[in-house]
Structures are given as structure tokens and as C-alpha cells.
A and B are shown apart, each in its own frame.
Chain A
Amino acid sequence: MSSQKSYSLPAFMSSDSAFPWLFPLITMLIVFAIVPFFYNIYLSFHEFVPAKRALLFVGWDNWIRLFTDGVFWGSLKVSLFYTFVCLAIQLVLGMGIALLIDSDDPGFGVIRSVLTLTLVIPPAIAGMIFLIMEDANYGLIPWALKAVGLIGAEDTILSDPSLAIWGVMIVDIWQWTPFMVLILVAGLRSLPSEPFESAVIDGAKPLQVFRRLTLPMLHKVIAVAVLIRGIDLWRMVDYVFVLTSGGPGTATYTLSLYSWQRFTFVQWGYGATISLFSLIVILIVGNAFIHFAKVKW
């Protein structure tokens, strides 16, 4: 008995222990998530010096530069504006559409399938679709807006400093409102029907039912949808890259795009610093949201 045991695997290697199951995942996350994270910290204290053609230690220079850089503050503002405004519009619009198409009647299944369609489009290609639709000379959208008099005959969308960000946001709203709709419809469909029936019998108005019953019961689903969408909005770079490349000037730089752009200008340390800032913000805000909204996996 004892001789047999000495040839068997150590206990932590057997399939009864969690270790061998989790080993590939942990290895992958350490090598490709933890190492890059610390490498990013290392980079944020270094900068490529063209005269010496080398990455040299610069102390806190990158971080000091970060907080005194007007373009950085501008891109932070754009990222915040983009994230919160898109999130609000997508949530409200998504909830409205979800309430409307939450039905067993024939036809609504097809409508939901059609809404699925936008989710599989590569965001870069979605940007292209709107690039031609928002083209200053031949675009459908400026043409329609001019026809109804919302913008002047000489106005453009993507090269106007104050309108350009809306030109980018419209793509996000178009592509990801269906994401909200599908999740919220699934949430609505899973609600029990009795509380709603008794509320109607008690003479509650639709708005009251929505505020007192639907919203509280959907709390978890809404929180999850807001969390995932919020993360992706904050990380977004494809649309601005394709539609405006941050222009006109620096009007539509988001943190990610600015970081990428510094990187391509061989300011590797500074680019890493910006991306690290963006990473730290989302880690703190995301985990705080999970904690306070009591989202559980």
C-alpha cells in the first residue's frame, strides 16, 4: 500500500484538487495580464530619448507631464462625456424599446433578431458605415439635416469641433443600444407576472408600475448592463480612430486614442502613462460599482 502511494502524484496535482484545472488560466493571466501591467508601470517611469536611441529612466517626469498636459485633460473630458452621455442615452432608449417589444406576439421575435444584427459588425466597419453616411459632401446624414434645417448649408459634422463628438457617439448609440434592448428584454421577460396583475387591479398607473415595480425588480439586470457597457465605452477607440482620428485638432481625442497616438509618435513612456491612468480609473470605478451595486457573479 505504502509503496504504491509513493509512486502516485502529489495531492495538489490530482484532479480532485483545483490546482491543475486552474493552472493554465493562472499562467495565462500572469504572463499576459500581470506582466504587461507591471511593464506598463515600468514604462511610465521611462521615456525613449531619440538623441541616445534608448529608453531611459526619467523619474516622475511622465506623470508630471500628464497632469500639466492640456490635451490630456481635454481627452479625459471627452472620454468622460462620451462614456456618460452614451450610457444615459443607450439606457433610456434601450429601456423604452425593451418595454415596447417585450411581447409574445408573432413578429417580435424577428424584430429582436434584426436588432442582434448590429452587434456582430466589427466596430471599425461600423465606423466606416457612418463615415460615408456623415461625409461632408456626399453624406446622407448632413444632407438630411440640411434639408430639415437643423444645420446650415455650409456646416459639417465630423470636421466641426463641437459636433464631431456627436458624429462619433451616434455610431456607438446605433450599434450598442440593441445590446441594452436585448438584455433588458431578457430581464423583463423573466419577471413574474403576478405583482403586475395585482398592481393593475389596484388601479396603479403605468408610470407608477414602472417606477415602483419594474425598475426595482430589474435592478440587477440594469446594473450588469450598465457595468459592461460602461467598461466598453470607456475603452472605446475604434470609432474615433476611423471617423475623426481625434480631430478636428484634438477635439475628439479619447484617453485610449491619445495614448495610442503618443505611442506612434515614439513617446512610449508617455503613451504608457496615459493608458495606465485610464486603466487605474476603470479598475477603481468598475470595482466600486460592483461593490455598491451588489453585482454578483
Chain B
Amino acid sequence: MNKIFKQVIGWFIAAVFFFPIYFWITVSIKKDKDIFALPPKLFNFDVSFSAYEEVFGLSRFLYVEDMGAVRPGGGDFYMMPFLVDSIIIALGSTGLAMLISILAAYSLSRIPIKGQQHFMGWILSTRMMPPVAVAIPMFFIYKNIGLMDTHLGIIIIHALMNLPLAVLLMKSFFDDIPKDIDEAALLDGASRFFVFWRLIVPLAIGGIAATAVLCFIFSWTEFIFVLMLTQTGLKTIPVVSTSFVTSTGTAWDNMAALGTAAIIPAFIFILLVQRHLVRGLTLGSVKQ
């Protein structure tokens, strides 16, 4: 009896947390009149995929006669360029952060340095910086060196944002690999770099994948850096989503379509590395 009770409560909690997401998905496939219906229409609504067609540009080819129709905000909801921007930035910043952090984490795990604890504390302190406190000075620095409003600028700042996570997490994965492997190979005359590249990296590949997924997701969902360090050149999904709210009304269905489409790939990625998720969320300090 107790077991069944636990199951029921557990599923109820899951349902409560899932409900807003379900509601958001229904908004993306509802027609305008059903979006604003009270009591809310949770199941009995007419399904329409026009929001997805507009956001992904299908309507450009399918319904040419609709092009002149006035929609809230003036009406262009073609979002593919911003989706591409988001993917470029997330992949680029993940690559950069991983490259830097794998090297540093291996060293922190294997080659003792003076003041290692302080160095780690410094890395962790970087994780505490409020984005606004970084973005305001970065705004002026980027203006001076020409990185303002560029993909490279956002890639660098997102990589920086993810570095503490990536370094600390990768260190914890390297720490799991016995040091005997390194020592044996070093005694046989292999160089440190050879040991790292040929022996340790292949062993840590699961951890590398988990770290990369988390970096990708945090870049994919980041908001304030992109808001402050771009103007017209590029936009990522979270920032462009807010542009659906305009003085003439809000295109809820389009916004929900874009939001739903943005969540799905991130969710698939995170399920793939669920085994390491808690370790990742705690920067490597809680092992599952």
C-alpha cells in the first residue's frame, strides 16, 4: 500500500512539473482564440501547425498569399537565421571551452603545482561573477577590439562562462582514472602529452561527452550576455524569443513553437548523459 501511495504521489509531482511544458506545447499548436480561452482548453482545441510553418519558414513557400497579412509585431517570424546563430555559438563555445579545460583539468589532476587549492578557488570564484558585472566592461572592450556583435565575441564569452564548470568537472573525471596508468607509460619513456592524448583522453571520453553537453546547454540557454553584447548582427533563441512581445500584441503561438523546438534537442542531449548529470550540475563534487 505504501509503495502504491509513493508511486501515485511521485507521478503527481512529475505531472505538476511537466504541466507548464505541456501547456506551452499546446499554445504552439493552438489557434489564437483557443490560447486565450478561459477555462483553459487543455485537450479540446483545434490543432494547427501554422506557427511552426512560420517560424521555420515553411509558410514562405506554402502560403504566398499570406505574406501581406498583418500580424502582431509587423509579422516576420522567420527564425531559421537565429536558430543557425544559436547552433554556431553553442558549438563554437563548447569546442573552445572543452579544448582549454581538458588540457587544464589533466594538469590539475596529474601535475601538482604550488597553490593548487588557491588556483581552484580562483576558478570557482569566476563561476560566481554576475553576468552583468562581466558584460558591462566587456561591452566597452568588445567595442574597442571589434568583437561587438560578432559570433566570435559571443563564443568567447560563453566559453569563459562555461570554463569553471568544464575545468572542475573534467578534473573530477580525470581523478577517477588511476594514476598508475600514467606512471607506467611514463616509465616506459612515453611523453606526458602522448600519455594524455593516447591513453587518458580515450578513457575519459564519457566524461568529456557529458561535460560538452552541459556546456552546450548552458550556452544554448544563456540570455544576458547575448542581450548586452549584440545589436543587429546576431541573436540566439532566448533573446529573439523576447522580441515576440511587442506593443501591438504578443505572438504567443510563434513564440511557443520556437521555444518548444529549442527545448527538444537540449532534452535529448541531456538524456544521453543523464548518468553524469548530477556530477555535472555540482561541478564535479557530487558523484552518482
Contacts and interface: CB of A to CB of B under 8 A. Distances in A.
Given A124-B238, A238-B224, A114 B282 contact: no
B270 A187 contact: no
B38 A138 contact: yes
Contact of B3 (A105, A276, A282): A105
Given A120-B217, A263-B136, A275 B267 contact: no
Interface stretch (B18-26, B46-54, B66-74, B77-85): B18-26
A252 interface: no
Contacts of B274: 113, 116
B118 to A, nearest CB: 11
B167 interface: yes
A111 B11 contact: yes
B60 interface: no
Given A25-B100, A25-B101, A228 B281 contact: yes
Interface string B227-265: 110000000011101100100001010011001001100
B14 A114 contact: yes
Contact of B132 (A14, A125, A221, A237): A237
A122 B221 contact: yes
Contacts of A103: 6
A133 B160 contact: no
A121 B132 contact: no
A18 B220 CA distance: 32
A210 to B, nearest CB: 16
A187 B163 contact: no
B283 interface: yes
Nearest to A108: B10
Contacts of B103: 21-22, 24-25
Contacts of A137: 36
Contacts of B217: 120
Contacts of B39: 143
B215 interface: no
A21 B112 CA distance: 12
Nearest to A234: B130
B286 A24 contact: no
Contact of B271 (A22, A116, A129, A179): A116
Contacts of B64: none
Size class of the B contact interface (CB-based, 8 Å)? 35 or more
Contacts of B23: 129, 133, 140
Interface string B1-43: 0010011011101100110110110010000000111111000
B133 A279 contact: yes
Nearest to B191: A15
A259 B21 contact: no
A221 B133 CA distance: 29
B283 A228 contact: yes
B45 interface: no
Given A129-B20, A183-B286, A116 B277 contact: yes
A297 B120 contact: yes
A191 interface: no
B266 interface: yes
A182 interface: yes
A119 interface: yes
A270 B108 CA distance: 39
A235 B283 contact: no
Contact of A100 (B6, B36, B168, B224): B6
Contact of A128 (B21, B112, B124, B259): B259
Nearest to B236: A122
Given A28-B163, A174-B17, A268-B136, A275 B282 contact: no
B286 A275 contact: no
B200 interface: no
Given A121-B21, A125-B263, A238-B223, A186 B10 contact: no
B126 interface: yes
A130 B223 contact: no
B38 A33 contact: no
Contacts of A143: 38-40
A297 B138 contact: no
A114 B10 CA distance: 11
Contacts of A256: 130-132, 224
B286 A18 contact: no
Contact of A278 (B38, B133, B237, B238): B133
B284 A297 contact: yes
B173 interface: no
Given A15-B192, A97-B13, A183-B282, A124 B125 contact: no
B30 to A, nearest CB: 11
Interface of B: 3, 6-7, 9-11, 13-14, 17-18, 20-21, 23-24, 27, 35-40, 99-101, 103-104, 106-108, 111-113, 120-134, 136-141, 156-157, 159-160, 163, 167-168, 171, 191-193, 196, 217, 220-224, 227-228, 237-239, 241-242, 245, 250, 252, 255-256, 259, 262-263, 266-267, 269-271, 274, 277-278, 281-288
22 contacts: A32-B160, A39-B141, A97-B13, A105-B7, A107-B10, A115-B14, A120-B266, A128-B242, A131-B245, A138-B38, A183-B278, A189-B288, A190-B288, A228-B282, A237-B223, A238-B238, A263-B228, A268-B136, A271-B132, A272-B137, A287-B125, A290-B124
The 5 closest A-B pairs by CB, nearest first: A21-B107, A122-B221, A15-B192, A39-B137, A275-B133
